[in-house]
Structure 1
Amino acid sequence: MTDSTPADPSSCIFCDIVAGVLPCAKVAEDETTLAFMDIDPGSDGHLLVIPKRHSADLLAIPAEDLTATVLAAQRIAKVIPAQLGADGVNLLNCTGAAAWQTVFHFHVHLIPRYRDRTRDRMELPFEPGSVVDLGMLAQQASLISAGLRG
């Protein structure tokens, strides 16, 4: 957790939405999760799926809340192409301010994608297909694997 990450759910805008203190355009809700439209959408139909229980980010969320949130996102994603005419869907999570996280309550963005650029304002922040150093990839894989082994 970083200094910009509130540990206290009482200062969390998403917890206020869950509690009904702040309004939202609700898409779906169950005992564990809530899905609602993003107020700063990158494309038509861009929405957020959150666990109702507060966790700051991907590093802090309990496995059962993560599972429920991702399964809820998948259930919603399955209807987006037919309901909105989307050509695809992105599932995005940002963990930490350096990764563009602005609300420190775990959430996933469910972003419908369209070939029609008038409905889709998002662009990748990097250029896929660039040249990669295979030695660097192997070194990074080794470091991460070592961390997983403890």
Structure 2
Amino acid sequence: MAAAYDPNNIFGKILRGEIPSHKVYEDDIAFAFMDIMPRAEGHVLVIPKEGARGLLDVAPQTLGELMKRVQHVAKAIQTAFSADGLTLHQFNESAGGQVIYHLHFHLLPRWDGVALRPPGTMADDAKLAAQAEQIRAAMEPYRE
């Protein structure tokens, strides 16, 4: 059985404004922001505002609404970066590769012949800010 959700994880702190982030999208369901250790140009994380440790404990209604936002942000990323494709990653528990225990989806724009960078390298803050603006500019208003 998985451990309980801890609201003091780094994403919980980002949601509360205790840690800065480069916001791409926000509404009452989801918050999307630039990954500070991107594996591709334009790497974005989408998280629910509801506290959920992973895929298996999020409320089904929240998950359904969250996935609509994941798709919405993904379309903006693909447009903003003229990507040939997109990779979606989602990990659960340490055995599944999860490091931060707040449900999150990685959106990585991809280009033919370009490999993902290895994990762990911090990005330039000004570059992340510019990329967030580029994605926001490509984003259509959200409609259900």
TM range (shorter): 0.7 to 0.9
Q: Distance in 2 between matches of 1:27 and 1:18?
A: 13
2:37 is the alignment partner of 1:40: yes
* Matched residue SS, 1:104: coil
Equivalent residue runs for 1:1-150 within 5 Å: 1-2=1-2, 5=3, 7-9=5-7, 11-115=8-112, 117=114, 120-121=116-117
Q: In structure 1, give the amino acid aligned to 2:44.
A: L
Q: Distance in 2 between matches of 1:63 and 1:38?
A: 25
Q: Distance in 2 between matches of 1:86 and 1:74?
A: 15
Q: In structure 2, give the amino acid aligned to 1:7.
A: Y
* Matched residue SS, 2:11: helix
Q: In structure 1, give the amino acid aligned to 2:86.
A: V
Q: What are the Cα deviations for residues 21-41 of structure 1, in whole angstroms up to 9, with x where unaligned?
A: 110010000011100011111
Runs of at least 4 residues off by over 4 Å = none
Q: Percent identity?
A: 38
* TM-score of the pair, normalised by structure 2: 0.75
Conserved 8 A contact 1:51-1:68? no
Conserved 8 A contact 1:26-1:36? yes
**C-alpha RMSD over aligned residues:** 1.7
* Matched residue SS, 2:28: coil
* TM-score of the pair, normalised by structure 1: 0.72
Equivalent residues, number: 118
Q: Distance in 2 between matches of 1:65 and 1:38?
A: 22
Consecutive unaligned residues in structure 2, runs of 5 or more: 119-144
Gap change, CA 1:60 and 1:95, over 3 Å in 2: same
Conserved 8 A contact 1:55-1:106? yes
Conserved 8 A contact 1:6-1:104? no
Q: Distance in 2 between matches of 1:85 and 1:18?
A: 29
Question: What's the offset of the Cα at 1:108?
Answer: 0.7
Question: What's the offset of the Cα at 1:6?
Answer: 5.3
Consecutive unaligned residues in structure 1, runs of 5 or more: 123-150
